[in-house]
């Protein structure tokens, strides 16, 4: 179209007409050459050339007055042809995109095997806790729970701990608020026994509950002690409950957990809230030891001290009761052959996977 580029200066300045024709030429080149390889590029292309308000085709139409009269018709035809080219290129590109989409097939490959959902397992502490709870439930015990943040009164005083008892020492207890003359002290419970007190505050005998829960002690962390652990507490209060009942139920429990032939012993001990008190050991067989095994302590227990009952308004002439408390970690470690308590709190998947 080189001859069309010749211009006239009849009606307008030669420069204006020239400029319009050059703009048309440049536009035709761009329309032809713009690469339309993505959906985004096609959209941008459409807006750039065809937008009604600012599209370049519209802009060019506005410049028709600049063109000499004898070229106006041809100028207009060229613009229309350019516009048609834009439209057809858009159509071709869109059709090509649609085709590759279909060639790809559906977005999902329905023949692929499903992705297996990783299934976790219960933590060994949870497993031991549930097992122990089930055993005592089968003996007719209810389950009670209490707060992990306790006051000094429930954790110590009501349990007959003298004011200067060493267990109250900051060494063992995580105090949240140290006791003062103004108040009692708030702490992380050091055992589940305060829940005994809470149960007896709310219920008259007969009482038969177990209390599973987490407890805290400010101890040096080692293979056998951690700053937190779990206990299951037991409490039975009724008329005529004796030490024989306590021994019988603990023996039954040990047989269920450690086998019918379990060897066990009650060893005299001391707790402020029980009198008499005992600790229970089971004989842990171990061929590597010179004696073929050793005694392992599994719990503390005793007859509830009359002072505790009287403090809660329970007539200790009429009612007696026993209590026991055991560490779950200790029992889980015995059952599963774990020799370092810390591994129970590391949440190492390789360890936990062994309990599924």
Q: How far is the CB of 150 from ligand PHE (least distance, A)?
A: 13
Q: Of 24 and 301, which CB lies nearer to ligand PHE in the complex structure?
A: 301
Q: Which one of residues 57, 301, 303, 308 is an interface residue with ligand PHE (CB under 6 A)? A: 301
Output the CA–CA distances (angstroms, integers) from residue 282 to 111, 210, 267, in the order listed: 57, 21, 11
Length of the chain: 356
Q: Of 160 and 274, which CB lies nearer to ligand PHE in the complex structure?
A: 274
Measured over the CA atoms of residue 262, residue 268, residue 274 and residue 275, the dihedral's sign is positive
Tell me the per-residue interface mask from 322 to 351 with ligand PHE, x by CB under 6 A, - otherwise.
-xxx--------------------------
What whole-number distance in Å separates Cα of residue 352 and Cα of residue 58? 71
Note whether 193 and 306 are within 8 A (CB). Answer: no
Output the CA–CA distances (angstroms, integers) from residue 167 to 227, 276, 309, in the order listed: 15, 19, 21
Q: How far is the CB of 108 from ligand PHE (least distance, A)?
A: 57
Q: Which one of residues 56, 155, 160, 193 is an interface residue with ligand PHE (CB under 6 A)? A: 193
Q: Of 25 and 214, which CB lies nearer to ligand PHE in the complex structure?
A: 214
Q: Of 271 and 319, which CB lies nearer to ligand PHE in the complex structure?
A: 271
Interface with ligand PHE by CB under 6 A: which range of 62-70, 284-292, 321-329, 332-340? 321-329
What whole-number distance in Å separates Cα of residue 96 and Cα of residue 14? 44
Interface with ligand PHE by CB under 6 A: which range of 7-15, 59-67, 115-123, 320-328? 320-328
Q: Which one of residues 302, 319, 333, 344 is an interface residue with ligand PHE (CB under 6 A)? A: 302
Q: Classify 79 as helix, strand or coil.
A: helix
Q: Is 62 exposed, middle or buried (0-12, 13-18, 19+ CB in 10 A)?
A: exposed
Tell me the per-residue interface mask from 12 to 31 with ligand PHE, x by CB under 6 A, - otherwise.
--------------------
Structure token pair of residue 68: 């000499």
Give 285's strand partners. Answer: 293
Neighbours of 313 (CB within 10 A): 9
Q: Of 89 and 230, which CB lies nearer to ligand PHE in the complex structure?
A: 230
What whole-number distance in Å separates Cα of residue 64 and Cα of residue 271? 107
Which residues 241-300 are close enough to bind ligand PHE by CB under 6 A? 271, 274, 300
Q: How far is the CB of 201 from ligand PHE (least distance, A)?
A: 17
Provide CB contacts within 8 A for 148, sequence distance 6+: 188, 189, 213, 214, 215, 216
What whole-number distance in Å separates Cα of residue 165 and Cα of residue 192? 18
| 157 part of the interface to ligand PHE, by CB under 6 A | no
- DSSP class of residue 107 equals S
Q: How far is the CB of 194 from ligand PHE (least distance, A)?
A: 9
Q: Of 27 and 211, which CB lies nearer to ligand PHE in the complex structure?
A: 211
Q: How far is the CB of 119 from ligand PHE (least distance, A)?
A: 35
Q: Of 213 and 302, which CB lies nearer to ligand PHE in the complex structure?
A: 302
Q: Of 80 and 222, which CB lies nearer to ligand PHE in the complex structure?
A: 222
Number of residues forming the site for ligand PHE (CB under 6 A):
11
What whole-number distance in Å separates Cα of residue 93 and Cα of residue 95? 5
What whole-number distance in Å separates Cα of residue 281 and Cα of residue 234? 17
Note whether 295 and 303 are within 8 A (CB). Answer: no
Residue nearest to ligand PHE (CB): 325
Q: How far is the CB of 325 from ligand PHE (least distance, A)?
A: 3
- The footprint of ligand PHE (CB under 6 A) covers 191, 193, 233, 271, 274, 300-302, 323-325
């Amino acid at each position: 179209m080189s001859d069309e580029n010749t211009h006239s200066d009849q009606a307008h300045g030669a420069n204006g007409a020239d400029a319009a024709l050059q703009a048309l030429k440049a536009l035709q080149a761009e329309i032809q050459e713009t690469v339309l390889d993505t959906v985004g590029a096609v959209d941008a292309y459409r807006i750039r050339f065809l937008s009604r308000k600012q599209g370049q085709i519209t802009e060019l139409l506005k410049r028709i007055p600049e063109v000499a009269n004898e070229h106006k018709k041809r100028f207009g035809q060229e613009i229309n042809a350019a516009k048609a080219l834009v439209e057809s290129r858009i159509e071709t590109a869109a059709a090509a995109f649609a085709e590759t989409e279909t060639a790809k097939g559906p977005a999902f490959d329905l023949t692929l095997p499903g992705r297996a959902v990783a299934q976790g397992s219960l933590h060994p502490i949870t497993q031991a806790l549930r097992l122990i709870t089930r055993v005592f439930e089968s003996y007719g015990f209810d389950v009670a729970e209490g707060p992990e943040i306790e006051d000094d009164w429930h954790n110590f005083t009501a349990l007959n701990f003298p004011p200067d008892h060493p267990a109250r020492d900051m060494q063992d207890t995580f105090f949240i608020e140290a006791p003062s003359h103004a108040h009692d002290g708030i702490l992380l419970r050091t055992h589940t026994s305060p829940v005994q007190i809470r149960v007896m505050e709310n219920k008259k005998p007969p009482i038969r509950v177990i209390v599973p829960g987490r407890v805290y002690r400010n101890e040096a962390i080692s293979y056998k002690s951690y700053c937190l652990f779990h206990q299951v507490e037991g409490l039975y209060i009724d008329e005529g409950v004796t030490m024989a009942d306590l021994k019988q139920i603990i023996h039954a429990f040990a047989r269920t957990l450690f086998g019918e032939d379990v060897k066990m012993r009650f060893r005299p001990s001391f707790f402020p809230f029980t009198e008499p008190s005992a600790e229970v050991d089971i004989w842990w067989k171990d061929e590597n030891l010179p004696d073929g095994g050793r005694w392992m302590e599994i719990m503390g227990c005793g007859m509830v001290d009359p002072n505790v009952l009287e403090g809660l308004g329970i007539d200790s002439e009429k009612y007696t009761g026993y209590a026991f408390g055991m560490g779950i970690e200790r029992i889980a470690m015995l059952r599963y052959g774990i020799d370092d308590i810390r591994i129970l709190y590391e949440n190492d998947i390789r360890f936990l996977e062994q309990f599924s």
